[in-house]
Amino acid sequence: MSLFRKLPGVVLAEFESTGSLLHAAEKMSEAGYEKYDCHSPFPIHGMDQAMRLKRSPMGYIIGTMGTIGMIGMIALTYWTNIYGYQMVISGKEYFSWQAFIPVIFAITILLSAFGAFFGMLALNKLPQLFNPIFGSDLFAKVTDDGFFVSVECDDPMYDEAKVKSFLESIGGKNVEVVKGE
């Protein structure tokens, strides 16, 4: 993956409301488009189902990293007290695990946070320093009151004329092709 991955372009269409955007996402999925995205200024309930998105693997990544942190710290404290530095303090046994709960918990949370941060970056293909959609003056409305669908040109079903007519047929307005130069 390159930071400067250049997409040749996208087809962008504006929709009137959240309902029309949700309807458009359902129609895009039914038609078989794979590389499209819906853009809105706020999350829309039901959009994941309409776009037929798979469940995120972030929970597994975070859980795995937390488990690695916990097991790693238990192993480190065990080795340190049993083999590395055997000390009897106040008549306690060599491995008094209760004393290490705060450290084990802290490292578990730390590695979980690292897993969340770096997992999110990897799954979202970030940082992506260029996206042709930002070349559209119309797309600036997405942060305030715009609802858009964008179809990438490397979609298997991409044919510029067909995509434009399809987006217009499902209610898209101001359909434009944004080149990735």
The pTM score is 0.75
Give me the pLDDT at residue 6, please.
56
Mean pLDDT within 36-61: 94
Tens digits of residue pLDDT in 92-113: 787 788 889 999 999 999 999 9
Contacts 24+ apart (CB under 8 A), 91-100: 100/73, 100/74
Tens digits of residue pLDDT in 56-79: 999 999 999 999 999 999 999 999
User: Does position 3 have pLDDT exceeding 60, yes or no?
Assistant: no
Listed residue (7, 24, 2, 1) closest to 173, CA to CA: 24
110 touches 69 (CB < 8 A)? yes
